Homo-oligomer: A and B are copies of this chain.
């Protein structure tokens, strides 16, 4: 087994998958892609999902969660729309989500439980079932490997670019593939975000194993991204394995570590794209905490710094306001001695032992002007560390969110 390497392609680069997208009129802007269908032609394809922890879960989340259980992790099609989240839509919303899945199942001659659904967009507005079902026959007719490229674009809402990544690794002279797409970009917060992500592979993996791998990879990636601290109603990450490459992945085996490494790499690439493309964001911020007494302390500090609106606006303005970083660490709940903390931006030391390190303002501004800013805190209390990805907070966030619904 070789290292995973980045490759060209799309969600259907792993063998066994096809996809297509259409403009169904769900988004406000006429003619934009907003409905996508993904299918797997391998009858034994397995799927696993992780979903929002929000008590107010959208109808498609409830339906997909149930279908994964009913089908025992078997899945042959995923239908996804953008422009309407089908959340806070009550009984009618559940009906729409279930009937959408049934319509796909009828067209593809599948049991309805083998069809999953996902939605993203505005909350609290009924999703018109006709808008979803009318384009379905056309969508089925267009399913192809090539047309799967359009899916990443069809799931975008306020995202400014489609997020896609393909990896491959050689096993016994043949390539195994991992592919993924994702969308952000507001309501982004660990556990999870308004995040939809679909991951495909042609490796051969049982449904329980796939679920465990997905959980581990999501914890090291999507659950480490925060944009605004809001946890959405629709967060869904689905992993899907066709088995077409016949490369088996089993726990307690070298294949496990090999596959988890690829899946984690894939998810982290997508997670960083989500942070970089946070609503209104101009910069990716990586918060790295080291020297904590224990891991939970490192996590707390990293999350507090990454969630601080004052830190994020300071980075937006390229202002080396390290005091706000230390302040956020201070209210994180972690235990440390403020008089021992060092803070770096990229390689530049801003704060040593809790006080101003006497840095060069122009140099600091130059570091903060970059597209990727690493804020590193060393607590000098132990050896635990943690990393969180976020973005700066700009006027763009306000503009986007002050009139999102209307």
B126 near A356: Cβ-Cβ < 8 Å: yes
Check A296 for interface membership: any CB of B closer than 8 A: no
Contacts of A319 in B (CB 8 A): 402-406
- Counting every copy of the chain, the complex holds 2
- Cα distance A187–B309 in the bound complex, in angstroms: 9
Looking across the interface, which residue of chain B has its beta carbon closest to that of A400?
A: B313
Indicate whether A398 sits within 8 Å of B395 (C-beta atoms), given known contacts A55-B331, A233-B330: yes
Q: What is the distance, in angstroms, from A396's C-beta to the closest C-beta of chain B?
A: 9
- Cα distance A361–B406 in the bound complex, in angstroms: 9
Q: Which of A228, A322, A326, A401 has the most chain B CB atoms inside 10 A of its CB? A: A401
Total residues of chain A contacting the partner, CB 8 A? 69
Check A54 for interface membership: any CB of B closer than 8 A: yes
Contacts of A85 in B (CB 8 A): 323
Contacts of A150 in B (CB 8 A): none
B317 near A401: Cβ-Cβ < 8 Å: yes
- Cα distance A277–B286 in the bound complex, in angstroms: 32
Check A348 for interface membership: any CB of B closer than 8 A: no
B56 near A327: Cβ-Cβ < 8 Å: yes
Check A329 for interface membership: any CB of B closer than 8 A: yes
Contacts of A93 in B (CB 8 A): 355
Check A9 for interface membership: any CB of B closer than 8 A: no
B397 near A313: Cβ-Cβ < 8 Å: yes
Check A351 for interface membership: any CB of B closer than 8 A: yes
Q: Using a CB-CB cutoff of 8 Å, which residues 233-278 of chain A contact chain B?
A: 233
Check A124 for interface membership: any CB of B closer than 8 A: yes
Q: Using a CB-CB cutoff of 8 Å, which residues 350-366 of chain A contact chain B?
A: 351, 353-356, 361
Looking across the interface, which residue of chain B has its beta carbon closest to that of A313?
A: B401
Q: Which of B88, B330, B351 contacts A351 (CB 8 A)?
A: B88
- Cα distance A313–B400 in the bound complex, in angstroms: 9
Q: Please list the 4 inter-chain residue pairs (A to B) with the smallest Cβ-Cβ separation, ordered nearest first.
A: A123-B323, A317-B402, A56-B330, A124-B323
19 A–B pairs (Cβ distance < 8 Å), ordered by A: A54-B330, A55-B330, A55-B338, A56-B329, A88-B322, A88-B327, A93-B355, A123-B324, A124-B355, A125-B323, A231-B330, A233-B327, A313-B397, A313-B401, A317-B401, A361-B406, A393-B398, A395-B399, A398-B398
- Kindly list 5 other residue pairs between chains A and B, CB separation below 8 angstroms, not including A88-B354, A126-B356, A313-B398: A88-B356, A230-B324, A232-B327, A233-B323, A309-B397
Residues of A within 8 A of B (CB): 53-57, 85, 87-90, 92-93, 122-126, 186-187, 189, 228-233, 307-310, 313-314, 316-317, 319-324, 326-331, 334-336, 338-339, 351, 353-356, 361, 393-395, 397-399, 401-406
